[in-house]
Structure 1
Amino acid sequence: MDFNLLRLCVYLLFLSLCNLVYLPYACAADKFVINHSDSESDRRYQYTYELLDLIIQETNADFGDASIEVTNLVMSRNRIFKSLQDGQTINVMAEASNEEWNTKLIPIPIPIRKGIQGFRVFIIKNENKNLLANIDSLEQLMRLRTGSGSQWSTRVAMKQAGFDVVESAQYDSLFNMLSKGRFITFGRGVNEAYQEVELFQKRYPELIVDEHIVLNIPLATYYYVSPTKPRLANRIKVGLLRMIENGKFDKLFYQWHCEYLMRSQLNKRKLFKISNPLVVESQMTSIMGKDFLFNSSLDASSICQKYLKP
């Protein structure tokens, strides 16, 4: 056989192996292509981007170099899902768990936000703060019209529970709709509400975070990877487990979230819970167990002391 042809065959075989398994130091650099935020105001994914960067650093010795690229396309969640399936436009995203994504993509079922986005506090207009202060039951809470993104899994859970849900596909417009009184409550993850109120403060100075109620909707954020990129999925899982074991994961998590966990004082609020048909709670704990999830009955200040800088 011609030597150059033989060399080409060996090279093509080598590339094929790189797509199937990880070879330390040998294969071409991994390329993670992630989603673009919905708008310049949307900062929901910053923590997941930083975590992914640390996962890559943690696995360099095993998997070799890698890069992260943010697509320049702003896509709806449904379009992102389709793009993840073929792995062309993006190949990884951190997203709330749901059955379709779990079956048609590669999930890494480690809840990277420890379930805190399932503790929903309400952004409201200041004029309605006494209204929520007097809520004593889930039934009373459900009588208040509430807002949600049209493709959010929490929308499905709230509608199934009996909430009157007003929807919008546009992230920014939900805050405008709340300001105009289209709905009274706007449930946001405890990791989202405070920074969003601060971000929109100039446009909507009347918006505040309610101090009295927390609605628990089981929710987990997983990294989802295109089925065409199993190597990337394996790398994320290896890196996550390693960071959890060596403490780097908790350090990043609490440095990002302690401010909001302490401000929210979840352990002092009236807590109501509804089910989420899109989330399998046993899956949330299948790898790390229940103790990995944040316990809202605990005092966040005592937990955060060891992670916050003096």
Structure 2
Amino acid sequence: MQRLKWFLLLVPLASVSSFASQSKKPTPPQSEFDASHSYFIGLLELVLEKTAIDYGPAEVVFSMQMEQGRAFLELERNAALDVYWAGTSISREQRLKAIRIPLVKGMLGFRQFVIHRDRRQDFAQIKNLSDLQKMVACQGAHWPDSDVLEGAGLKVMRNPIYENMFKQVAAGRCDYFPRGVHEGKAEVAARAQAYPSLIWYQDLTLYYPFPMYFFVSASNPILQQRITLGLEAAVADGSFERYMQQDSTTAHLFPLQKWLKIKTIVIKNQQLSADTPIRDLRYWVQPPR
């Protein structure tokens, strides 16, 4: 049986080891409030189940923590890490093999905001990109989002630690923390006692095409093929969408088209490869016009 080693990092990630000889003990998640990593583990397990007949059974086990920059190095070396889920960029796709099937149907690019409750009226006044450019966003130091926002003229305060961005918003050091529409509501609810001043602002959406993919090392083509075939099978037989509809992280997203009816600011993603199949209706919710 394959042993699948996954690491709970600043951005959750997972590892599938083809020839691992021992299990790793669990380590703490990226935060006690981690709200979405189980979705991606469950999706990975669905993919492995779909491909078990051809590739054999597999087991997911825990391993160490590391920050995202190191995680990509480990994945590139095909060493401590074998598969990683994260938002994509041109440089990441040059270094690694991306399985170009968005793990939440492209909904990662629909961003709403974690803000301080006292700032609600300020955000209600935002009508366009110029208004939003007056605000400061908290973003991950290594996240492609930071480059996307800065490329659109938005102010960004980078931080390498995921949990600190909630602290910064609560303390007023930055104005908002953009999160995928599948992420923010649960993240704020999980921190209701730790940061009671935080709210999830849903009256405005910032959109840029930004898929989250599974990544594998360029030297691991068998794993790339297995994950690709598993995702394609899950999409084709409807189990991918059923999984999204039933999982607590994504169930509230449905019907998906409702997100196109909210006031939206659209910006370009210069970090997105021209080869991205964004018009493939099997995998993507089509963006606002």
TM-score, scaled to structure 1: 0.80
Is 1:42 paired with 2:14? Answer: no
Is 1:82 paired with 2:73? Answer: yes
Per the alignment, residue 44 of structure 2 pairs with: 52
From 40, 61, 67, give the equivalent of 1:69. 61
CA–CA separation in structure 1 for the residues paired with 2:178 and 2:286: 19
Per the alignment, residue 137 of structure 2 pairs with: 146
Per the alignment, residue 222 of structure 2 pairs with: 231
Cα distance change on mapping 1:261 and 1:154 into 2, 3 Å: farther
Is 1:206 paired with 2:197? Answer: yes
Per the alignment, residue 99 of structure 1 pairs with: 90
| CA shift digits 1:158-216 (9 cap, x unpaired) | 11111111121111111111111011111111011101101111011111111311000
Cα distance change on mapping 1:85 and 1:263 into 2, 3 Å: closer
Per the alignment, residue 165 of structure 2 pairs with: 174
SS of the aligned residue for 1:135 comes to coil
Q: Which runs of 5+ in 1 are unaligned?
A: 1-28, 298-310
| CA shift digits 1:108-161 (9 cap, x unpaired) | 111111110110001111111111112111100111122111111111011111
Is 1:221 paired with 2:212? Answer: yes
From 30, 46, 50, give the equivalent of 2:2. 30
CA–CA separation in structure 1 for the residues paired with 2:236 and 2:79: 33
CA–CA separation in structure 2 for the residues paired with 1:285 and 1:132: 30
From 282, 285, 288, give the equivalent of 1:294. 285
Per the alignment, residue 269 of structure 2 pairs with: 276
Q: Would you say the 8 A contact 1:32–1:92 is kept in 2?
A: no
The structural deviation recorded for 1:284 is: 3.6
RMSD: 2.2
Q: Which runs of 5+ in 2 are unaligned?
A: 11-29
CA–CA separation in structure 1 for the residues paired with 2:205 and 2:197: 20
From 93, 99, 102, give the equivalent of 1:111. 102
The structural deviation recorded for 1:235 is: 0.9
CA–CA separation in structure 2 for the residues paired with 1:99 and 1:296: 20
What is the one-letter code of the residue matched to 1:142?
Q
Q: Would you say the 8 A contact 1:217–1:273 is kept in 2?
A: yes
Cα distance change on mapping 1:284 and 1:45 into 2, 3 Å: farther
SS of the aligned residue for 1:279 comes to coil
Whichever of the two has the greater Rg, that structure is: 1
| CA shift digits 1:230-255 (9 cap, x unpaired) | 21111111111111111101101222
SS of the aligned residue for 1:223 comes to strand
| CA shift digits 1:1-35 (9 cap, x unpaired) | xxxxxxxxxxxxxxxxxxxxxxxxxxxx3333322
Per the alignment, residue 304 of structure 1 pairs with: none
Structure 1, 238-247 or 94-103: larger mean CA deviation: 94-103
Per the alignment, residue 303 of structure 1 pairs with: none
What is the one-letter code of the residue matched to 2:74?
S
Per the alignment, residue 19 of structure 1 pairs with: none
The structural deviation recorded for 1:281 is: 5.7
TM-score, scaled to structure 2: 0.86
SS of the aligned residue for 2:234 comes to helix
